[in-house]
Structure 1
Amino acid sequence: MKTKSKLTKILKIIIFWLVIAFLFQRFFPERFPLAQEMSSRYIKEMLMIFPAVLVIMGLADVWVPTSLVKKYLGEKSGLKGKIFSFFLGTLPTGPMYIAFPIAGELLRKKASLSNVIIFLGVWASLKIPQLGVEIQFIGLKFSVLRFIFTSISILLISSLMEKIIKGENLELNN
C-alpha cells in the first residue's frame, strides 16, 4: 500500500510539472527554449551532485550517533545549539537543495526544529564565502548590516516556527 501511494504521489508531481511546462510553452513560446535549456542544466547538475550527497548522508547516518545530535542540537541544547546550528550553516558552499536532506537527517536524529530552521536559513543566506564576495561588490557597511538583520530575522523566525509547530506531530517523509 505504501509503495502505491508513493507512486501515486510521484505521478501527481510529474503531471503537475508537465502541465506547468505545457502552460509555459503555450503562453511564453519565445522563452520556452531558454527555460527548457536552463531546466535541463539544473537537472544534470542535481544528478551529478545528489548521489554524492546521498552517500555522505548514509555515512553520517552510521557515523554520527543520534545522542550526539540530540546533545548539541536537540531541545535542551539552548543557546549553544543555536550558535552551533548557525556555525554549521555558514560553512557549506553547495546549492540549497543539498541542505534539505541534511536537515531531514538532523530532524530524524532529534535536533530541535528551531536549530534546523537556523541551519537552513543560514545556509541559504549567510555563507562565509558569499559574505566575502558580497563585501567586495556591495561594501562592508551594507554587508555587515545585512548579516546582522538577516541573523536576527532567522533567529526570530526559527523561534516563531517552533512555537507554532510545537505540539504538532512532525513526521518526515521517508
Structure 2
Amino acid sequence: MKKLIKRYRVFIIVFLAMIILVLVNRPLGTKAFTITGNSILEMLLVIPPIFVLLGLLDIWVPRETMIKYMGEGSGLKGIILSIIIGSAAAGPLYGAFPVAAVFMKKGVKFMNILIFIGAWSTTKIPMFLFEITALGSRFAISRLLIDIPGIIIIALILSKTVSREEVKILYENAKAMD
C-alpha cells in the first residue's frame, strides 16, 4: 500500500488540491474537474489507436530495416524520413513519446528521434494546410522553412550535448519496457 501511495503521490496531491478548490470556489473547482475529465477522455480516445499502430510497427518492421533507414549510418535519408513520419503523424504530442520508445528499441539514431519529435510537434501536415487557408501560403511556407532547419539544429545540438551514457540509459529503458 505504501508503494502504491508513493507511486501516485502527485496524482493524490493534485486530486486533494482540486477538492479543496471545489470547497473554496465551487465554480472554478467544477471547471477544473470538467477540464481534467475532458483531457482524460481525449487521452483515452487517442492513446489506444497509437498503441495498436505501435504494436503493428513493432511486429511488421524489422529492426534491420529501421537501422538501415533511420539508424546510425542513415545520414540525410534518416533525417528526411524522421521529418516525414513526424509531419504525417496524427494526435497530440504525448503520442510521439511511445513511438519514440519503439524507435529506440528498433535502433533508430538518437538525433533522428529528436527530429521526429520536433517534426511531430511543429510541422504536422494538417496544421500546415490550416495555416495556408487561415494565414496565407507565404506565412505557412516561411514558418515551415524556418522550423525544419531549426528542428535539425536543435536535434544536432541536443544529440551532441547529451552524454553517451545518458543516451545509452534512455535506450536501455526503452528496451526494458517490453
TM-score normalised by length of structure 1: 0.84
Match of 1:170 in 2: 169
Query: Residues 74, 9 of structure 1: CA spacing in aligned structure 2 closer, same or farther, 3 A cutoff?
Result: farther
**Which of 125, 138, 141 matches 1:144?**
141
Distance, in Å, in 2 between the alignment partners of 1:11 and 1:133 is 39
Match of 1:66 in 2: 63
Percent of paired sites with the same residue: 32
Query: Residues 142, 101 of structure 1: CA spacing in aligned structure 2 closer, same or farther, 3 A cutoff?
Result: same
Distance, in Å, in 1 between the alignment partners of 2:48 and 2:56 is 13
Could you list the per-position Cα deviations for residues 45-103 of structure 1 after superposition, in whole angstroms to 9, with x for gaps in the alignment? Answer: 21123222222222221111111111111111111100110111111232222211111
| 1:30 CA displacement | 4.4
Match of 1:43 in 2: 40
Equivalences for residues 9-88 of structure 1 within 5 A = 10-18=7-15, 21=18, 30-88=27-85
| 1:35 CA displacement | 2.4
Match of 1:103 in 2: 100
Structure 1: gaps (5+ residues): none
| 1:13 CA displacement | 3.6
Distance, in Å, in 2 between the alignment partners of 1:9 and 1:81 is 41
Structure 2: gaps (5+ residues): none
Corresponding residue SS for 1:170: helix
Query: Residues 85, 140 of structure 1: CA spacing in aligned structure 2 closer, same or farther, 3 A cutoff?
Result: same
| 1:25 CA displacement | 5.3
Amino acid at match of 1:170: I
Distance, in Å, in 2 between the alignment partners of 1:160 and 1:96 is 21
Query: Residues 40, 69 of structure 1: CA spacing in aligned structure 2 closer, same or farther, 3 A cutoff?
Result: same
Structure 1 runs of 4+ with >4 Å offset: 22-30
Query: Residues 30, 72 of structure 1: CA spacing in aligned structure 2 closer, same or farther, 3 A cutoff?
Result: same
TM-score normalised by length of structure 2: 0.83
